Every structure is written in structure tokens, then in C-alpha cells.
Amino acid sequence: MAGIFKAYDIRGVFPDELDTALAYRIGRATARFLGSPTIAVGRDARSSSPQLFDALVRGLGDEGSEVVDLGLVCTPMVYYAVEHLGAGGGIMITASHNPGRYNGFKICREHAIPIGEATGLREIERLAGEVAHAAAQSAQRRDVRRADLREAYVEHVLRLARRVPELRVAIDCGNGMASIGLEPLLKRLRLEVLRLYFEPDGTFPNHEANPLEPENLRDLCEAVRRTGADFGVAFDGDADRAIFVDERGEPVASDLVTAL
């Protein structure tokens, strides 16, 4: 496990650093740490995500937690689901902006409070080290139930937004998970949208889903200039990070976006 527990998440190359056996142990450790009867789990489109999901869910279930399967979602939708469902925690299977060979877990507690190194990840690592890959000691394994919260999530976002003017916008999802929440939202808004790489693809065939790297913004910047868009936005792999581009096709500094 050395090296895969980071400051804010768990992340490593699959299966060299993070495999299904370890995912099972992390599932059991997380269930013990959260002590919750219900945990929501979502995943991204990486090829290893279904395998990690199955192993993680077995671990959660073997500790007696009911799992709510959110399916293919972005990380903000997991946070929303935890609060919306009143779950005791949530786990997103993703390696965020990292290349496709990586995968991992982002974990939050009740009220969608993220768990980091100083707030629980080190304890989860310790507990995972104590869990054998043997049969569970708990005889209270619970079922997995499916929940599709896309429409509820869109309604939630719309309630947060003020009136949205008619704009021309270029959006680069980088073949990550942003489009899962965006597509139903865009149907409700009067926007002219130029879509770049909306299809989720865990191999990230067009560019890495890391908008902090200038080379990954080239297509978006060119699209804004070519179409005369009012602005552009690029998302990372799990859509919990975005970089904006102004009407000239120039990236906007993150501190300015925060000020706005």
C-alpha cells in the first residue's frame, strides 16, 4: 500500500499498485472507519473501474454496509448523492486527472465532507493493513441498490444558479465524466454549445484530462477563437476541477475565477 495513500485521495497504477485484493481491503476499512449502514459509490469510465467497484463493494458489504450504486458519474454527483440520500459516506472510483492506467478512490463522510490525510485516510490505511483477504467476520452482508440521481442533481444545480443568459460556450470534457452531469443540464439552458470530447473514454484518446497543463487546453482555446465563443471551460477527468478560457482564447488565472 506504500505510496498510494495521498494527501486527499487513494491513487495508483492498476493493477501494479492498486489491485482488486487491495480494493476489497480498502472497502472493509472504509466501512469500519465510517461506521455507516449506507455508503454511496460512483465510478468513472476507466477500464479498471468495474473491477475495482466489484471488489470495493464486496468489502463494504462484508462489513455490513448497504451500497448505493450510482453508476457512471462525476465526483460532484457523489457528494450530492451523500447529502441527498442521507448516506453516511461516499466513494468515487477515479484517478481524477491522471492517465488511464491509474485508478483510485476519493472518499467522503456524511454531509459530503471529503476525507484527506489529516482527517481519516491514514486511519483507513491502517485499518486496511489489518484486514485479511479472507472471508468476512461479519455475517450481515447487505445488498447493493441502484440509484439514478442525474435529474435530481440537475434540479439541484439549477436551484443554485441565477438567471443564465444566452451565450456561446465551448466546453471540453476531455473524455472524462463531466458530460454525465452536463448533458441533461445543458438541455435546460439557452446556450449555444460547442462540444469537445464529451464521450467518456477512460483511455483519454484526445488529450489527458488535466486542464492545468497548457497543452491540454490547446483545442479549447482554438475552438473559442475560431467560433467567437463568449468563453470556454475545460474539466478534469472526474469533473471536480475546471479551467476557464476567456473570449480571446486565453486561460483565466484560477485566483481571478475565485474572485469572480
The pLDDT tens digits for 150-159 are 999 999 999 9
Q: Residue 140 CB: number of other CB atoms within 10 A?
A: 12
Ranges of the chain whose pLDDT falls below 50 = 134-135, 139
Give the separation between CA 122 and CA 141, rounded to whole angstroms: 25
What distance, in Å, lies between the first and last C-alpha atoms of the chain?
41
pLDDT of residue 141: 62
The pLDDT tens digits for 197-235 are 999 999 999 999 999 999 999 999 999 999 999 999 999
Please indicate whether residue 254 is annotated as part of the active site. no
Pairing of strands 66-72, 144-146: parallel
Homologous superfamily of domain range 161-259: Alpha-D-Glucose-1,6-Bisphosphate, subunit A, domain 3 (3.40.120.10)
Q: Give the class (CATH, top level) of 10-149.
A: alpha beta
pLDDT of residue 137: 52
C-alpha cell at 25: 481491503
> Start-end ranges of CATH 3.40.120.10 in the chain?
10-149, 161-259
pLDDT of residue 131: 87
Task: Output the pTM of the full model.
Answer: 0.95
Name the catalytic one among 47, 96, 179, 254: 96
The pLDDT tens digits for 24-43 are 999 999 999 999 999 999 99
CB-based burial label for 99 (10 Å; 0-12, 13-18, 19+)? middle
Give the separation between CA 216 and CA 70, rounded to whole angstroms: 29
